[in-house]
């Protein structure tokens, strides 16, 4: 059994919620609309109307969540204008937003394995086109098996 979840040994987490990166990330990414908007951005869907149509999300909710993502520095809003049309906006991931890819990739990998019969997409190396999978890598560049992983206070 992994050192991550030894049952009945502890009654409280070792770190307070306000000091835990996992908990703080949950406050951002625990909202289904935020995750789905991020998914759209990773699929390069950036226009408000296209995101709304893909997700069947009410305009007010989309406006609210995009505003939240902008306030958090995860997305930016950029104006664009097609000939003869009014100015509209597209929404793009910032560096901070792009770094959240591993979160969505982990969800995709798990969902493809346990929830989807025939996945339509996969994550590949853009050069070799070989399939990629997530892993936890130590400082020596070696993948560490889950049974060896532990949570410890940071030094």
Give the residue, 37 or 15, on which the prediction is more confident: 37
Q: What band does 32 get if pLDDT is binned at 50, 70 and 90? A: very high
56: left (phi over 0), alpha (psi -120 to 50) or beta: left
Q: What pLDDT was estimated at residue 7?
A: 60
**Average pLDDT estimate for 82-95:** 95
Give the span between the Cα atoms of 122 and 44, in whole angstroms: 15
Residues 118, 123, 131, 137, CA torsion sign: negative
Cβ-in-10-Å burial (0-12, 13-18, 19+) of 74 comes to buried
Give the span between the Cα atoms of 125 and 22, in whole angstroms: 27
Domain positions in the chain are: 17-148
Give the span between the Cα atoms of 80 and 72, in whole angstroms: 22
Q: Do the Cβ atoms of 98 and 105 come closer than 8 Å? A: no
Q: Among residues 6, 15, 10, which one has the least CA distance to residue 152?
A: 15
The CATH number fitting domain 17-148, selected from 3.30.70.890, 3.40.50.20, 1.10.10.10, 1.10.1060.10: 1.10.10.10
**Average pLDDT estimate for 145-149:** 92
Give the span between the Cα atoms of 34 and 61, in whole angstroms: 10
CA angle 101, 145, 151 (to 5 degrees): 75
Q: What band does 38 get if pLDDT is binned at 50, 70 and 90? A: very high
The share of the chain scoring above pLDDT 70, in percent, equals 94
Q: What band does 2 get if pLDDT is binned at 50, 70 and 90? A: low
Q: What pLDDT was estimated at residue 92?
A: 98
Give the span between the Cα atoms of 9 and 139, in whole angstroms: 29
Q: What pLDDT was estimated at residue 12?
A: 80
User: pTM to 2 decimals?
Assistant: 0.84
Give the span between the Cα atoms of 27 and 72, in whole angstroms: 12
pLDDT for 5 beyond 90: no
């Amino acid at each position: 059994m992994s050192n991550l979840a030894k049952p009945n040994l502890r009654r409280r987490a070792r770190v307070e919620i306000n000091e835990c990166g996992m908990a703080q990330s949950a406050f951002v990414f625990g909202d289904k609309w935020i995750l789905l908007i991020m998914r759209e951005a990773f699929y390069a869907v950036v226009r408000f109307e296209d995101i709304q149509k893909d997700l069947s999300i009410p305009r007010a909710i989309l406006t609210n969540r995009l505003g939240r993502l902008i306030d958090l520095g995860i997305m930016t809003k950029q104006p664009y204008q097609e000939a003869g049309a009014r100015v509209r906006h597209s929404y793009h991931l910032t560096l901070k937003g792009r770094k959240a890819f591993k979160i969505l990739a982990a969800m995709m990998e798990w969902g493809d394995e346990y929830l989807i019969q025939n996945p339509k997409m996969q994550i590949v190396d853009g050069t070799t086109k070989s399939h990629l999978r997530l892993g936890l890598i130590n400082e020596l560049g070696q993948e560490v098996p889950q049974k060896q992983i532990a949570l410890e206070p940071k030094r």
